[in-house]
Structure 1
Amino acid sequence: MLRYIGLRAVMALAVAFAVSLAAFFLLNLATDPAHAIAGEDATQEVVEAIRARYGLDQPLPVRYFEWLAGVLRGDFGESYYWHKPVAELVASRAGVTLALAFSALAVTIAIAIPLGALAALNPNSWIDRFALGVAVSAQAVPNFWLGLIMIIIFAVTIPLFPVSGDDSWRHFVLPAIVLGASSVPAVMRLTRTGLLDVMSADYIRTARSKGYRGWSLLYRHALRNALLPVISVLAVQLGQKFGGSVITESIFAINGLGRLALESILGADIPTVQMLIFIFAIVFVAMNLLADILNAALDPRIRIG
């Protein structure tokens, strides 16, 4: 088991390094940071002075390894736009995005797994067709449209929840539903497919002969094996929600990392953008690693293979 975890951890670190390398070079080649800091009307002398001040006159490989060494020391650099340490900006907004991501994942689990289980217990029935219809609808609706509709209905027409902000749990209800709905189709279909495969297994027939039926059969015998692929998808979805909440946070004016990323892109704040990309990649890779470990713990055949 330790060897399996070690191999997966080495692969995760390699992916994180590759993402940091690609993000740094692409961002710095796409625009000139010195011009972005100085502004459009700055003279060449001012641009050169800024380039020397921030070390932008060094070759890109040198700047990359200096940046990477700073990250390993906990120094994420200074924001060109806010003139604050990037670490301070990230720390002030990470909690909001974490709360939103876990709330959205809870919404996904609460909707997708029961729907998938109901569809598997009643294959080819109206319940099955209804569950598949919900999945198709959730996949077809874009987040920005769903967010606007939720605001119009539940914040303006029926003022149950606030329109924007992140001051209380009520501010997270609508954004969590919007962000969580996008993951419902994949999780619901995997739950349904996994349960249908498991329900035809020999040990399930044996359990039925012992008198297990319905939810007792599902909970005691079928669910654990059927949820193995679902665990991987949920971990991946959590990583995606952590880094993919830009639209949702912008619509609901939530001051999280997604909105910080959008503001940094609009302000050409390269140090903040590249650090956020690196953080999102680390979270995504870490969630995949966690999924691999959980799957290996639940199914010894995976780590043996």
Structure 2
Amino acid sequence: MSRYVLRRLAQAVGVLWAAYTLSFFILVLLPGDPVSATAGAGLDSAPVDPARLEALRAEYGFDQPVPVQYAEHLGRALTGDLGDSVATGHPVTEMILDALPQTLLLTLSALALAVVFGGGLALAATYSSRRGVRQFLLSLPPLGVSVPTFWIGLMLVQFFSFRNAWFPAFGNDGLRGLILPAITLAVPTGAQIALVLAKSLSTTLDEPYIETARAKGAGRVHVHLRHALRNASLPALTVAGLLVGALMANAVVVETVFSRNGLGRVTQAAVSAQDIPVVQGVVVYGALVFVVVNLLVDLVYPVLDPRIVLAGPATPGAPRTVTA
């Protein structure tokens, strides 16, 4: 068990390093000058003193060769220092930590709703003995996946806020202000979970041990929930862990739609100002949340299926199972 955990931790560190490296070189090599954009160069305002621009570039290290910038920034990042914002001068870590709780609350709430909605839909679809009901329920997940997230948010605001005033349309107004953004994020995620779980349940229900359980007199509910769901949930659990990254990315859009204070607003302002340290910091923290959640998912596998061998996965990140 300890070797498995250490290996997964090493893989998590590798993912974080790759996310940091790729984001650094992509952002640094993009056209544009964050110092000039922040100082107002190129706008209709008064021209900025070139000497002041050079001093600012030297202060933030933008006058150094790219490999030197990377080495210096990586060394500071290893100590938890992601630099200072070019636009505000505030520490990037402090800015992100101030905004992160609201985004994490939204993301985890949406993930919980997605698991409940997606799992319930898959169970209802595979449990129903009526073909028409089953086909209707199975047609809902593809629809949920195809609908754009921002459109769902706009429709929810239009109906539940502007037309009926049941929930606030904007801001971080406690639980009431969290419901609509969480549902907006949960719909496409829950649809993907429902697709995977319904397919897995349908396959599992045809396994010989399910027929054996039925032959011993087990009821449909008992077979469905006790025998089939436990084994069929592994692929859905994997998908749920992988979707955390997509949830973090979509949270930026949803927070913009609902004017919530979180990483979405920080990212939007940083992108507009070409604030490279802040954008990179958001990427790194998003990758950190992603690897932590997926590590927890991997550790849950043996609980759901004791046949999983922790000694050596056949492929990186995929626990190996033995034949029962």
TM-score above 0.5, yes or no: yes
Query: Percent sequence identity over matched residues?
Result: 35
Helix, strand or coil at the partner of 2:78: helix
Checking the alignment, whether the CA contact within 8 Å between 1:240 and 1:284 is kept in structure 2 is no
Partners in 1 of 2:94 and 2:163 — Cα distance?
38
Checking the alignment, whether the CA contact within 8 Å between 1:295 and 1:302 is kept in structure 2 is no
Checking the alignment, whether the CA contact within 8 Å between 1:38 and 1:50 is kept in structure 2 is no
> 1:161-172 maps to which residues of 2 (within 5 A)?
161-172=167-178
CA offset at residue 10 of structure 1? 1.9
Corresponding residue of 1:18? 18
Partners in 1 of 2:84 and 2:131 — Cα distance?
58
Q: Does 1:180 align with 2:186?
A: yes
Partners in 1 of 2:131 and 2:48 — Cα distance?
68
Partners in 1 of 2:249 and 2:293 — Cα distance?
12
Number of aligned residues = 305
Q: Deviations over 1:132-161 (max 9, x none)?
A: 221122112111111111111000111100
Specify every segment of 5 or more residues in structure 1 that has no aligned partner in the other structure, as ranges: none
Q: Does 1:147 align with 2:147?
A: no
Partners in 2 of 1:88 and 1:282 — Cα distance?
16
Corresponding residue of 1:93? 99
Checking the alignment, whether the CA contact within 8 Å between 2:33 and 2:274 is kept in structure 1 is no
Corresponding residue of 1:290? 296
Partners in 2 of 1:279 and 1:173 — Cα distance?
24
Partners in 1 of 2:76 and 2:119 — Cα distance?
43
CA offset at residue 44 of structure 1? 2.4
Corresponding residue of 2:230? 224
Corresponding residue of 2:38? 37
Q: Does 1:278 align with 2:284?
A: yes
Structure 1, 144-153 or 233-242: larger mean CA deviation = 233-242
Runs of 4+ aligned structure 1 residues displaced above 3 Å come to 296-305
Partners in 2 of 1:156 and 1:171 — Cα distance?
14
Helix, strand or coil at the partner of 1:165: coil
CA offset at residue 82 of structure 1? 2.3
Determine which structure has the larger helix proportion and give its number.
1
Partners in 2 of 1:214 and 1:177 — Cα distance?
31
CA offset at residue 296 of structure 1? 4.5
Structure 1, 151-160 or 79-88: larger mean CA deviation = 79-88
Helix, strand or coil at the partner of 1:205: helix
Corresponding residue of 1:5? 5
Structure 1, 219-228 or 68-77: larger mean CA deviation = 68-77
Partners in 1 of 2:244 and 2:276 — Cα distance?
25
Checking the alignment, whether the CA contact within 8 Å between 1:178 and 1:248 is kept in structure 2 is yes
Corresponding residue of 1:115? 121
The aligned amino acid for 2:25 is F
CA 99–148 in structure 1, closer or farther in 2 if over 3 Å, else same = same
Q: Deviations over 1:177-214 (max 9, x none)?
A: 11000112221111111111111122211211222222
Q: 2:254 aligns with which of 248, 259, 276?
A: 248
Q: What CA RMSD, in Å, does the superposition of the two structures yield over aligned residues? A: 1.8
Corresponding residue of 1:64? 70
The aligned amino acid for 2:134 is D
The aligned amino acid for 2:8 is R
> 1:201-216 maps to which residues of 2 (within 5 A)?
201-216=207-222
Q: Does 1:259 align with 2:265?
A: yes
Specify every segment of 5 or more residues in structure 2 that has no aligned partner in the other structure, as ranges: 42-46, 313-319
Q: Deviations over 1:99-148 (max 9, x none)?
A: 10111112212211111012112367122212222112211211111111
Partners in 1 of 2:197 and 2:69 — Cα distance?
47
